[in-house]
Amino acid sequence: MPILSGRMHQLGTESAFEVLARANALARAGRDIVNLGIGQPDFATPAHIVEAGMKALADGHHGYTPANGILPLREAVAADLHRRHGVSISPDRVLVVPGGKVTMFFAIMMFGEPGAEIIYPNPGFPIYESVIRFSGATPVPMRLHEAKGFSFDADEVLAQITPQTRLLILNSPGNPTGGVAPKAEIDRLVAGLARHPDVAVMSDEIYGEMLYEGTHVSLTTYPELEDRLILLDGWSKTYAMTGWRLGFGVWPAALFPYAERLAINSHSCVNASAQYAGLAALTGPRAPVARMMAAFAERRAYIVPALNALPGFRCASPGGAFYAFPNVAGTGFDARTLQSRLLDEAGVATVAGTSFGALGDGHLRFSYAASLEALQDAVGRIGAWLGKQNTDAGARGA
Ligand code: PLP
């Protein structure tokens, strides 16, 4: 066996992909599975975006592009950030990358090393903790509070900062909870960060356009953070483009050359046709995005009360994204057992909260990026399965 570097043993994974593989294997074996495990829109990429990608190939865009991305795309990103948040960002600070994950990987590798601490949301996107460990840094979990709609508490976060803290990761709207941090909480955090000028901030706003109420508060609207804020965003969720692998980061001017070097050392550039497709997404009609959001809103309006009606389930209403994260402690099953038994016995794929960190214990993540019929089917199956457990327990005299 070749000898791996020590850090390889620190690398975690994203359980949603494992659940997807298991659900697909069961489906291939003839089982009827409702998959609410994977976090991707169930819509096709809007047609005008697909056409722009195909046209780019037909027009001969087959070679390398600049490592940071084609200029029209970086200009369109800057214009879109101005449209959404009213901020003026130079296209020179935009680094186009193959998916939102890449900005996360670069930011964590840029600051993480043994002895350093990185604060990250928990329950949160599992790759944060995985890459922090891979970098050698110590992951410091930022608790998200169910009672606060899965927001962080600014005072609590500020109290976690030590002289070793290099990076603070925020994610609102959040995966896996759908939680949205209120503006007042973000204001207090940013005000407190003035006392910690050496701590960088990475704000993962990949679900920033997926909000059901109010407006998204982008960290880019705080000018005092400009020289230490990394914005993570991309096309995967908003434009149903997960498979195109296209995202972007906005980097502080002083950090940009390092991020660009990481790109040159790893992927060189994003494939050209995806970049032209991304350009069409930002400059084309917005009606397809509005239609997708209307569908997500309809599904949310169904699934939250439906989950709350299941015995032992308690589900907060998600403010954004397309995830419901009910507390299932009342069922008497731990989340991982529930995840595997619901998949094997009821044919419903979900992801245990512990896949998103220790503080996700007692919860299950439902991705409601699925048709209303599929959601109704899933809730019906879970209800029947829970009923059967009670009947069986009753029959055993438990
Ligand atoms: N950030 C969060 C919070 C996510 O949930 C995801 C994907 O699920 C990503 C980043 C990564 O997105 P991409 O598929 O563009 O790499």
Q: What is the pLDDT of residue 398?
A: 54
Tell me what the pLDDT averaged over the chain comes to.
Answer: 96
The fold of 6-44+287-397 is Aspartate Aminotransferase, domain 1 (3.90.1150)
Give pLDDT tens digits for 207-235. Answer: 999 999 888 999 999 999 999 999 999 99
Nearest-atom number in ligand 1 for the CA of 242 is: 14
Closest CA to 49 of 296, 286, 321, 294: 286
Q: What is the pLDDT of residue 18?
A: 84
Mean pLDDT for 67-77 is 98
Which class for 64: exposed (0-12), middle (13-18), buried (19 or more C-beta within 10 A)?
exposed
pLDDT of residue 388 exceeding 70, the answer is: yes
Check if the beta carbon of residue 103 is closer than 8 Å to that of residue 248.
yes
Q: Does ligand 1 have an atom closer than 6 angstroms to the CB of 39?
A: yes
Give pLDDT tens digits for 81-94. Answer: 999 999 999 999 99
Mean pLDDT for 325-329 is 97
Gap from CA of 195 to ligand 1 centroid (Å)? 30
Q: What is the pLDDT of residue 234?
A: 98
Check if the beta carbon of residue 218 is closer than 8 Å to that of residue 358.
no
Which residues, 6 or more positions from 78, have their beta carbon under 8 angstroms from its beta carbon?
Answer: 88, 89, 90, 91, 94
Per-domain residue ranges for the chain? 6-44+287-397, 62-283
Gap from CA of 206 to ligand 1 centroid (Å)? 7
Q: What is the pLDDT of residue 161?
A: 98
Give pLDDT tens digits for 103-135. Answer: 999 999 999 999 999 999 999 999 999 999 999
pLDDT of residue 184 exceeding 90, the answer is: yes
Query: Which one is the CATH code of 62-283: 3.30.70.980, 3.40.640.10, 3.40.50.2000, 3.40.50.720?
Result: 3.40.640.10
Q: What is the pLDDT of residue 396?
A: 62
Q: Does ligand 1 have an atom closer than 6 angstroms to the CB of 171?
A: yes
Q: Does ligand 1 have an atom closer than 6 angstroms to the CB of 121?
A: no
* Alpha carbon distance 100, 249 (integer Å): 8
* Alpha carbon distance 225, 202 (integer Å): 10
pLDDT of residue 15 exceeding 70, the answer is: yes
pLDDT of residue 381 exceeding 90, the answer is: yes
Nearest-atom number in ligand 1 for the CA of 104 is: 10
Q: Does ligand 1 have an atom closer than 6 angstroms to the CB of 204?
A: yes
* Alpha carbon distance 24, 21 (integer Å): 5
Gap from CA of 368 to ligand 1 centroid (Å)? 16
Q: Does ligand 1 have an atom closer than 6 angstroms to the CB of 236?
A: yes
Q: What is the pLDDT of residue 395?
A: 65
Check if the beta carbon of residue 284 is closer than 8 Å to that of residue 48.
yes
Mean pLDDT for 233-242 is 97
Q: What is the pLDDT of residue 383?
A: 97
Q: Which two tokens stand for residue 154?
A: 């600014």
Nearest-atom number in ligand 1 for the CA of 39 is: 8
* Alpha carbon distance 108, 121 (integer Å): 14
Instruction: Find where tokens 């976690």 sit.
Output: 160
pLDDT of residue 267 exceeding 70, the answer is: yes
Asked, as a colleague might, if the bond just before 123 is cis with ω within 30 of 0, I would say yes
Q: What is the pLDDT of residue 17?
A: 82
